[in-house]
Amino acid sequence: MPVIVVFGDSNTWGSDPATGARFSRAQRWPTVMQRELGPEFDVIAEGLRGRTTVHDDPIEPFRSGADALPPCLMSHAPVDLVILALGCNDLKKRFSVSAFDIAEGAARLIFLVRAYGEDPDGGAPRILLVAPPPLAKLTGYAEMFEGGTEKSRLIGQRFGEIAGQEGVAFLDAGAVIRCSDLDGIHYEADQHELLGRAAAEAVRGALASAL
């Protein structure tokens, strides 16, 4: 049974843009992906609200993906595939980083998967890098993400470049879904459905390329 770890932020966790609460498990995109892949796959969703690629958040502690990823991988070993679905929170004004630097943060996570992850054969897990979609209409998060909208439109391209350089599978979520205009950063339930289906297809391709 292939084991897939989905390492992400509040959209992997399942934040509802309408209420701020959590979508039911069945509505979240990792669960949709599990359904599409079938029972022969084991999908482990590791989502945390506010998680960044590599940045320590001075306001919300314990959010650095680079710190959390190694113990996560060791805990769930062996892992066949790791899905890295981060980058949105790096757009917060408090971090003052470019789309280029956000992509470099994703590259650091790829390095950590290869350094600390282990597949059933003792090698490194396969990797699927997912670029977040561009920000939509910011409402309550407008000040927190000030200046992030323009940068968010470049992330798909920058993540694609990193995926090509590192030789990992890539999914540009912005080509499949959009963030909700209710808050500008989270996905509505129908978008979770679309992303879960697209991710399942990308997972099949990533695992097939390993054969």
Closest-CA residue to 79 (of 166, 5, 167): 5
Give the per-residue pLDDT at 52. Answer: 98
Spatial contact of 32 and 203, defined as CB atoms under 8 Å apart:
no
Measured CA to CA, the distance from residue 7 to residue 115 in angstroms comes to: 16
CATH class of the domain defined by 3-208: alpha beta
Tokens (6 digits) for 124 = 């490194």
Give the per-residue pLDDT at 209. Answer: 78
Tell how far CA 4 is from the center of its chain: 13
Measured CA to CA, the distance from residue 96 to residue 109 in angstroms comes to: 19
- Which segments of the chain have a pLDDT < 70? 210-211
Measured CA to CA, the distance from residue 9 to residue 149 in angstroms comes to: 18
CA separation (Å) from 133 to 95, 153, 177, 180, 187? Answer: 19, 8, 7, 10, 10
Give the per-residue pLDDT at 179. Answer: 98
Give the per-residue pLDDT at 25. Answer: 98
Give the per-residue pLDDT at 161. Answer: 98
| Every domain of the chain and the residues it spans | 3-208
